[in-house]
């Protein structure tokens, strides 16, 4: 198994270079085809008082800005792709609903792996991708790049955040092409619960991965008075982890919106590449 179709989600000119670099670096390992995907957002129509009619000058200015970014993002993507010699394809869609629009989600569903960048909080933009849409609607794994990491490097050490859920299981198998080439893979469980029907320590999944040739170990930790996300963050830092693999949003969207959760917390304070599946 290997990734043969990689979708690079290129939302802004600021982070498109990093996303493209990671996509083409992964593509080189398995001769994958890379699709560059961009949404050219159609802005809401500005109104002018007192008649509250559309202002054509403002509308045109907004559209020109959006199209200029599309042109620049495509230039960056093609330049990185041509330099790598990889098979590539460019797709851009004009949409008023951003990255949740049907054509973009349909494109994502045909890819083996999606790659996107965490938004830099110092550079807010309406064009930043909402990764939640892809996680909930595409059915495909998403590799998130922290904004503090801009250059690809070999993925040698991997941590799988294991809680026995179907989301964690899917993420683990979605990451298998990377796990098989990593030097060390740790299955890490926080406050594991063992019953006759449920194992959260990951012994069974570890055995399965070992049969795939993965160099895997098991580890557990107690959270005490800490949130599970903080325990995982500390483990990432202490063990110099290159990639975190985890199931995303084990609760519904409504639950996540009201109560938050481990996924949202980790995505806001990413220190390593993170592969998520749902």
Whether the pLDDT of residue 268 is over 90: the answer is no
In a domain, 150, yes or no: no
Which of 111-115, 121-125, 138-142, 178-182 has the lowest average pLDDT? 121-125
- 262 lies in the same domain as 222: yes
Which of 67-71, 104-108, 121-125, 208-212 has the lowest average pLDDT? 121-125
Q: What is the dihedral of CA 143, 160, 27, 152, to 10 degrees?
A: 70
Q: Cβ(98)–Cβ(44) under 8 Å? A: no
Q: Residue 210: its pLDDT value, please?
A: 98
For 176-233, how does the pLDDT look when each residue is reduced to its tens digit (9 = 90+)?
999 999 999 999 999 887 654 555 679 999 999 999 999 999 999 998 889 888 899 9
- Please provide the size of the chain in residues: 278
- 168 lies in the same domain as 116: no
In a domain, 239, yes or no: yes
- 140 lies in the same domain as 185: no
Q: How far is CA 224 from the centre of its chain?
A: 29
In a domain, 180, yes or no: yes
In a domain, 151, yes or no: no
Q: Residue 199: its pLDDT value, please?
A: 57
Output the pTM of the full model. Answer: 0.88
Task: Please give the backbone phi and psi of residue 225, each rounded to the nearest 5 degrees, phi first.
Answer: -100, 15
- Identify the domain containing residue 199 by its residue range: 157-277
Count CB neighbours of 142 within 10 A: 25
In a domain, 205, yes or no: yes
Cα–Cα separations (whole angstroms), residue 171 to 93, 167, 189, 265: 28, 6, 15, 18
Q: Residue 249: its pLDDT value, please?
A: 80
- 64 lies in the same domain as 172: no
- 170 lies in the same domain as 113: no
For 242-254, how does the pLDDT look when each residue is reduced to its tens digit (9 = 90+)?
999 999 886 555 4
CA-wise closest residue to 90 among 201, 146, 16, 194: 16
- 133 lies in the same domain as 196: no
Average pLDDT of the residues in 81-101: 92
Q: Report the alpha-carbon distance of residue 48 to residue 54 in Å, rounded.
A: 7
- 134 lies in the same domain as 165: no
Q: Which residues does residue 59 pair with via DSSP β-bridges, in sequence order?
A: none
Whether the pLDDT of residue 61 is over 80: the answer is no
Q: 246: exposed, middle or buried (C-beta count within 10 Å: 0-12, 13-18, 19+)? A: buried
Please indicate whether residue 134 or residue 63 has the higher confidence score (pLDDT). Answer: 134
Q: Where a domain ends, among 100, 120, 145? A: 145
- 73 lies in the same domain as 168: no
Count CB neighbours of 139 within 10 A: 13
In a domain, 16, yes or no: yes
Task: Give me the CATH number covering residue 50.
Answer: 3.40.50.620
- 102 lies in the same domain as 189: no
- 122 lies in the same domain as 166: no
- 242 lies in the same domain as 268: yes
Q: How many domains does the chain have?
A: 2
- 260 lies in the same domain as 173: yes
In a domain, 152, yes or no: no
Q: Residue 259: its pLDDT value, please?
A: 38
In a domain, 83, yes or no: yes
Q: Residue 229: its pLDDT value, please?
A: 87
């Amino acid at each position: 198994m290997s990734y043969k179709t990689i979708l690079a989600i290129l939302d802004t000119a600021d982070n498109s270079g990093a996303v493209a670099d990671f996509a083409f670096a992964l593509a080189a390992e398995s001769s994958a085809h890379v699709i560059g995907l961009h949404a050219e957002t159609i802005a809401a129509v500005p109104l002018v008082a007192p008649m509250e009619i559309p202002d054509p000058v403002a509308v045109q200015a907004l559209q020109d800005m959006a199209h200029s970014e599309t042109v620049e993002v495509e230039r960056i993507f093609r330049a990185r792709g041509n330099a790598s010699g990889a098979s590539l394809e460019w797709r851009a869609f004009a949409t008023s609903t951003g990255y949740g629009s049907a054509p973009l989600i349909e494109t994502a569903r045909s890819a083996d792996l999606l790659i996107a960048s965490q938004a830099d909080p110092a550079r807010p933009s309406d064009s930043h991708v909402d990764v939640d849409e892809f996680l909930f609607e595409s059915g495909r794994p998403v590799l998130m790049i922290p904004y503090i990491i801009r250059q690809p490097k070999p993925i040698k050490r991997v941590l799988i955040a294991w809680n026995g859920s179907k989301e964690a299981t899917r993420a683990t198998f979605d990451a298998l092409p990377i796990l098989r080439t990593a030097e060390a893979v740790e299955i890490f469980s926080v406050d594991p619960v063992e019953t006759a029907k449920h194992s959260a320590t990951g012994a069974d999944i570890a055995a399965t991965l070992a049969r795939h040739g993965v160099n895997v170990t098991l580890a557990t930790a107690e959270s005490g008075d800490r949130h599970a996300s903080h325990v995982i963050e500390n483990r990432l830092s202490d063990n110099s982890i290159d990639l975190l693999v985890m199931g995303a949003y084990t609760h519904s969207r409504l639950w996540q919106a009201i109560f938050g959760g481990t996924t949202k917390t980790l995505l806001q304070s990413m220190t390593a590449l993170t592969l998520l599946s749902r």
